[in-house]
Amino acid sequence: MKRMIQLLLIGTLITACSDDPTAPAGDGRATFSMRLSSSTGSAAKSVLSSATAETLFSVTDLSGTVFSIKEARTSVRHIQFDFPDGVADTLSEDKISIDGPFVINLMTGESNPVIGEFTIEAGLYKRIDVRLDDSKASDGLVDSSDALFENTLVVSGNFDYDNVTGRSYSIILKFNEDVRFEEPGGILIDENALNNVVLNLLVDEWLQGIDITSCLDDGDLMLDDEGNLLIDDSSSGGGKCKDIEGIIKSNIKNNYDLDD
């Protein structure tokens, strides 16, 4: 999947004066958000939608079963802006970090606590690293009854199966991973603009190579007593469904973008 970066710049765009365009050039202002996205383009409408907005995303397994996404939240430990190697050699620090933890609603881009506007050295950055990590009791952001408690990512919604419409499903995953967003030409933080940095997690290929429908048909995945589906690290599938949660986890971690 091609990884692209685009910054949304609000304000007057003026190129900072410097002999080295990659070097820090004073302070800039920025905001940060991370959300789901889709290559269809319709997902971009979700960035300012409310937490109760209608579903704008769905994923499809190999059998063509559509899984709508109504909730998606993740736990973030920190966000780091990394300077290029040549610039980093001249600075006391080679990166700027926004320390969490944060819980980010990937449907809306909203975070808890609110990240808000922050000051960051202007210049050209090599990449942005986001550390996805399991939430902890000491974070104080989710309680023990929350599906995200001691987990990293929660995705839930509805699907139709075996002539029953609107079954519920949940995907609950635990992992600790840096997700890297980078652009060959670098990521410019302008000194004279409000730089709205929006990171997108592309949903298109989250179920790539996975046939949940066949797993259910074959009894390798089981519905609960209410006819709903839970996929997590304790899911016990057999055959081709043995590592279904691991494949989903890999697909999610390896498909991302930075876009408007």
Asked whether the beta carbons of 104 and 95 are under 8 A apart, the reply is: no
d(CA 35, CA 158): 19
Instruction: Dump pLDDT digits (tens) for 195-222.
Output: 999 888 889 889 999 999 999 999 989 9
Token pair 């304790």 is found at: 234
Q: Which of 204, 194, 198 is nearest to 181 (CA)?
A: 198
* Predicted model pTM: 0.81
Q: Is 146 exposed, middle or buried (CB count within 10 Å of its CB: 0-12, 13-18, 19+)?
A: middle
Residues contacting 246, CB < 8 A, separation 6+: none
Position 45 scores a pLDDT of 39
Q: How many Cβ atoms are within 10 Å of 22's Cβ, its own excluded?
A: 16
3-state percent breakdown (helix, strand, coil) of the chain, nearest 5? 15, 40, 45
d(CA 151, CA 130): 16
Share of the chain above pLDDT 90, in %: 50
Q: How many Cβ atoms are within 10 Å of 134's Cβ, its own excluded?
A: 18
Instruction: Dump pLDDT digits (tens) for 49-79.
Output: 334 445 579 999 999 999 999 999 999 999 9
d(CA 160, CA 101): 36
Q: How far is CA 31 from CA 156, 191, 241, in A?
A: 27, 13, 41
Please state which of the ranges 69-73, 208-212, 225-229, 236-240 shows the lowest mean pLDDT: 236-240
The four Cα atoms 42, 45, 49, 52 give a dihedral, to 10 degrees, of: -10
The per-residue b/e assignment along 197-218, b for 16 or more CB within 10 angstroms, e otherwise, is bbbbbbbbebbbebbbbbbbee
